[in-house]
Amino acid sequence: MEKICVAVRVRPSVSSESFNGAYWNVEDNRISLHRLHGTPISGLSYTFDHVFDESSTNARVYELLTKDIIHAAVDGFNGTAFAYGQTSSGKTFTMNGSETDAGIINRAVKDVFAKIQMISDREFLIRVSYMEIYNEEINDLFSVENQKLQIHESLERGIFVSGLREEIVNNAEQVLKLIELGEVNRHFGETNMNVRSSRSHTIFRMVIESKGKDTNSSGDSSSVDAIRVSVLNLVDLAGSERIAKTGADGVRLKEGKHINKSLMVLGNVINKLSEGAKQRGHIPYRDSKLTRILQPALGGNAKTSIICTIAPEEVHIEETKGTLQFASRAKRITNCAQVNEILTDAALLKRQKLEIEDLRKKLQGSHAEVLEQEILKLRNDMLKYELEREKLATELEEERKSHKERDQCIREQQMKIDNLSNLVSFSDLDRNSNQGQGSARQSLKEECSESSVHQGDAFSTPCFKADPKAFVVKRSNYSTLPDYSPLPDTFSNVADEDTWQKMNKGYMADLDSLQMTPARKVQSFPSNDITPACSNDNFKKEVQQLKRQLEIATEDKNELERKHAEQIMLNHQLMDEISELQQEAKLIQEIPQRLSESVGNCKDVYEDILSIVQSFVSDGESSTAKLLSSTSEIGKSLFTTLETHFSMAMDDRSSSTGNNFLIQEQCKVLYEKLNSTITSLVSSETPSSENEEARAQLCSCGNKGCTQGGETACWKEELSNELNTIKERYYGLEKELDHNNQLLVVSKERYDSLEREFRLLKEDRDLLHQMVSDSSQKLSLVTDQKENVLKDLNTEVQRRKNLEEEIKQFSVAFASRQRSLASFHSDIKSNCEKLRTQCLVSLPKSRGC
């Protein structure tokens, strides 16, 4: 028992965007989701046999993951390597490779042939095939005409795809060329290549057969007779994103069944297999073609590796989680691989004989008893084998018998069908020759009336026809029919072949003509199957079946229409939501604009206040004036920075952090400058009379009786209050801006995800549209067929009626003819009697004479 080897490969990132929230971190054979700051998120760390980071090459993946399986396949073990992951995560890149870095298939093919070259004591025969499973249909990629192939199972071959082209190959180049050809077929198969390629699975298969070379004359020839057969599957699976969604919320379960049933069943099979052997229960291999083909590779006789490819981008986190969960479950599966040797009976016996010989030799040594027992055991084994073989042979014989019976049954059925179709064609014939028959019937009627007219003169019927043999045959056919009244017993006593001909000479022509009617043909059928009622029953059944099909198709159509309506409703809802979000986004985008306007207003107010205050300060040299001018400069520059900040925010919402820092810096400088100026004012300067006045006016307390120190303090307090208010407003604005930015980012994300969802839904809707139109086409086809069949049935029923009518007429004619024959017979009898009596009377007379 060995576990499936599971590895994860991270594809290089294709987006230039840096991570905002989380990223996948690879360390040795562990992969985990980390927050932006580097701390791992709990519960999202996985360990596998190998984890390949973005820089790893196909060569490395092959070396560590697949090489051993390929080598084991050459030695007779089944092997499978498959790539699983969402679309565009690198499955095909891993399996098929690129121009510069050959993929696993390419490397495996070359490696197989290289290994074979090194094995000198065995002969190899290699066959390759390449197939695709698309919408649960198996198509041959080596041969475009081999489509919709079926899977079969036999004792000798195990599970196999019948009709799949297998090419015998001798070197790697030949195989690679064939694969290229297969790829071309794959792309030519469908017009919408992308959809197809992401939803189809491809399986490249190598069957490696080998046999020991018969080099030594004395040695073990049983190993020469044994043939090793191993199958190597290299699988590129369809994109798993849908199944991941299905697994996550179950909403698309039904849709998933149609789109990629195989992948869903593969998930189920892996789930089941990953449960312990006891809880496992039934494994649904037969639910999909993919799992059926890969059955030996999943929990069976094969060495298996799975490479799960993931995309590192943040948008794919959910899909990646799904893939990693799949990989974790797959890791728990155990397989039991063994060399597949096919031994002929002769080889088996030879091998056992050799073993016995070997043991005999050992027997001469010390462990005689043990070895004796071993020999006995071996003999028993041999007997068992023999018995088993006999049992198998009997079973085979029985199987053959039942096969023969089945064949016989099929032949009979076929005969009945042929007869039925003959009936139909003869009915046609009958219709065509209706005119002729009409005249025949007419002549029959005439004959009948004629016969009644000539009853008394039976031996001189004018239209005698000599055709005895044909008639005898016809008569014997006729006499077996149960539908016709039997001839009287007494009649057979007297009517020898000649008399019969003579008696019927008046009816020969009619019977000839009647022989050509379909009623005669019907008589040769097995009686229980050819009655019109039976045929009608068949037709009825057929019509009922068609009706049922029609009902199912109509139901399907209704279901699809309902789904379509639901999708349309959902679409409308989404459209509404999207337009609401768009409006919201518009409003949010306008916020910087409005903020910039209010900053402009604030700036105006600030400049007004400054100019008023400056008008009070007449002395430009005084410290108050200096304070004012420096405050005004800083204030202006603060407002200008705010304005540029907002205008930049309007242009590009993401790069505002640098500006925030600049504004904070400027605010700090303004605050410090104000503080230092106020302190220097308080400590050093003596106020002049004008200043006093100005200060008095500036002082908001408006108390003219304030002392100098008290005024200054008041003034200082006033200024610092104002500063605080400006600061608070600024912080408020900043917070608002941050909040708005966050809102903007969130709604952008929501908008993007909705858009993505919308696109998906649109795709789905198109698909449903397609399905609806397909089923409507099918429906109309079925309806047409039904109408045709009904028409056919009606004509057939009509034909039957005609035929029955004719048969009736014929029976009536026949009965009347019988009656006339009987009376004719009695006439002859009475005549004979009369003649006899006359003879008897005349004889004695003559004697008397």
- Sole binder of ligand ADP in the list 76, 79, 90, 322 (CB under 6 A): 90
Q: Is 666 in the site for Mg ion (CB under 5 A)?
A: no
Smallest distance, Mg ion to C-beta of residue 25, A = 26
Binding segment for Mg ion (CB under 5 A), chosen from 86-94, 286-294, 367-375, 827-835, is: 86-94
Interactions with Mg ion, residue window 508-567 (CB under 5 A):
none
Is 305 known to sit in a ligand binding site? no
Angle CA 177–180–184, to nearest 5: 140
695 binds, among Mg ion, ligand ADP, none (CB under 5 to 8 A by kind): none
Pairing of strands 79-85, 5-10: unpaired
Residue 681's identity, in one-letter code, is L
Instruction: Give the per-residue SS3 of 145-204.
Output: CCCCEEEEEECCCEEEEECCCCEEECCHHHHHHHHHHHHHHHHHHCCCHHHHHHHEEEEE
Smallest distance, ligand ADP to C-beta of residue 58, A = 8
Binding segment for Mg ion (CB under 5 A), chosen from 84-92, 265-273, 511-519, 591-599, is: 84-92
549 binds, among Mg ion, ligand ADP, none (CB under 5 to 8 A by kind): none
Q: Is 139 in the site for Mg ion (CB under 5 A)?
A: no
Q: Is 267 in the site for ligand ADP (CB under 6 A)?
A: no
Smallest distance, ligand ADP to C-beta of residue 309, A = 6
139 binds, among ligand ADP, Mg ion, none (CB under 5 to 8 A by kind): none
Instruction: Give the per-residue SS3 of 804-848.
Output: HHHHHHHHHHHHHHHHHHHHHHHHHHHHHHHHHHHHHHHHHHHHH
Q: Is 331 in the site for ligand ADP (CB under 6 A)?
A: no
d(CA 697, CA 464): 156
d(CA 69, CA 232): 9
3-state DSSP call for residue 112?
A: helix
Q: Is 260 in the site for Mg ion (CB under 5 A)?
A: no
Q: Is 239 in the site for ligand ADP (CB under 6 A)?
A: yes
Q: Is 13 in the site for ligand ADP (CB under 6 A)?
A: no
* 248 CB burial (10 A radius; 0-12, 13-18, 19+): middle
Q: How many residues does the chain have?
A: 849
Number of residues counted as binding Mg ion (CB under 5 A): 2
Smallest distance, ligand ADP to C-beta of residue 93, A = 3
Residue 557's identity, in one-letter code, is K
Interactions with ligand ADP, residue window 171-210 (CB under 6 A):
198
b/e code 723-760 from CB counts within 10 Å (16+ = b): beebeeebeebbeebeebbeebeebeeebeebeeebee
Tokens of 524: 């040769």
Looking at the Cβ atoms of 130 and 814, the one nearer to ligand ADP is: 130
Smallest distance, Mg ion to C-beta of residue 239, A = 7
Looking at the Cβ atoms of 93 and 426, the one nearer to ligand ADP is: 93
Is 567 known to sit in a ligand binding site? no
CB-CB contact of 269 with 295 (8 Å): no
CB-CB contact of 649 with 592 (8 Å): yes
d(CA 177, CA 167): 12
Helix H or strand E encompassing 603? helix 532-616
d(CA 478, CA 486): 10
Q: What is the DSSP string of 581-600?
A: HHHHHHHHHHHHHHHHHHHH
- Sole binder of ligand ADP in the list 32, 92, 223, 461 (CB under 6 A): 92
Interactions with ligand ADP, residue window 285-324 (CB under 6 A):
309
Is 331 known to sit in a ligand binding site? no
256 binds, among ligand ADP, Mg ion, none (CB under 5 to 8 A by kind): none
Tokens of 530: 């050819």
Is 91 known to sit in a ligand binding site? yes
Q: Is 589 in the site for ligand ADP (CB under 6 A)?
A: no
Q: Is 240 in the site for Mg ion (CB under 5 A)?
A: no
Which neighbouring-strand residues pair with 307? 7, 83
Smallest distance, ligand ADP to C-beta of residue 241, A = 10
Q: Is 87 in the site for ligand ADP (CB under 6 A)?
A: yes
50 binds, among ligand ADP, Mg ion, none (CB under 5 to 8 A by kind): none
Looking at the Cβ atoms of 88 and 352, the one nearer to ligand ADP is: 88
Smallest distance, Mg ion to C-beta of residue 97, A = 12
Half-sphere exposure of residue 439: CA atoms within 13 angstroms, side-chain side = 4
Looking at the Cβ atoms of 195 and 569, the one nearer to ligand ADP is: 195
Is 92 known to sit in a ligand binding site? yes
Q: Is 810 in the site for ligand ADP (CB under 6 A)?
A: no
Helix, strand, coil tally for the chain in percent (to 5): 70, 10, 20
CB-CB contact of 337 with 301 (8 Å): yes
Q: Is 12 in the site for ligand ADP (CB under 6 A)?
A: yes
Is 90 known to sit in a ligand binding site? yes
Q: Is 11 in the site for ligand ADP (CB under 6 A)?
A: yes
d(CA 402, CA 533): 32
239 binds, among Mg ion, ligand ADP, none (CB under 5 to 8 A by kind): ligand ADP
- Sole binder of ligand ADP in the list 13, 25, 88, 271 (CB under 6 A): 88
CB neighbours of 438 closer than 8 A, spacing ≥ 6? Answer: none
Looking at the Cβ atoms of 84 and 507, the one nearer to ligand ADP is: 84
Looking at the Cβ atoms of 88 and 660, the one nearer to ligand ADP is: 88
770 binds, among Mg ion, ligand ADP, none (CB under 5 to 8 A by kind): none
Q: Is 93 in the site for ligand ADP (CB under 6 A)?
A: yes
Q: Is 92 in the site for Mg ion (CB under 5 A)?
A: yes
Q: Which of 336, 332, 324 is nearest to 270 (CA)?
A: 332
CB neighbours of 67 closer than 8 A, spacing ≥ 6? Answer: 111
Q: Is 340 in the site for Mg ion (CB under 5 A)?
A: no
88 binds, among Mg ion, ligand ADP, none (CB under 5 to 8 A by kind): ligand ADP
Sign of CA dihedral 13, 17, 18, 19: negative
Binding segment for ligand ADP (CB under 6 A), chosen from 91-99, 135-143, 434-442, 726-734, is: 91-99
Binding segment for ligand ADP (CB under 6 A), chosen from 80-88, 129-137, 672-680, 790-798, is: 80-88
CB neighbours of 618 closer than 8 A, spacing ≥ 6? Answer: 690
Looking at the Cβ atoms of 312 and 635, the one nearer to ligand ADP is: 312
Smallest distance, Mg ion to C-beta of residue 202, A = 9
Looking at the Cβ atoms of 84 and 646, the one nearer to Mg ion is: 84
Smallest distance, ligand ADP to C-beta of residue 139, A = 18
653 binds, among ligand ADP, Mg ion, none (CB under 5 to 8 A by kind): none
Binding segment for Mg ion (CB under 5 A), chosen from 90-98, 365-373, 583-591, 752-760, is: 90-98
Smallest distance, ligand ADP to C-beta of residue 312, A = 11
219 binds, among ligand ADP, Mg ion, none (CB under 5 to 8 A by kind): none
Half-sphere exposure of residue 588: CA atoms within 13 angstroms, side-chain side = 21
Smallest distance, ligand ADP to C-beta of residue 94, A = 7
Tokens of 180: 């290229």
Phi, psi angle pair for 341, to nearest 5°: -110, 135
Binding segment for ligand ADP (CB under 6 A), chosen from 22-30, 41-49, 84-92, 154-162, is: 84-92
d(CA 757, CA 786): 42
**Phi-psi domain of 637 (left: phi exceeds 0; alpha: psi -120 through 50; beta: other):** alpha
Give contact residues for ligand ADP (rule: CB under 6 A). 11-12, 85, 87-93, 98, 198, 239, 309
Give contact residues for Mg ion (rule: CB under 5 A). 91-92
List, as residue ranges, the binding site for ATP. 85-92
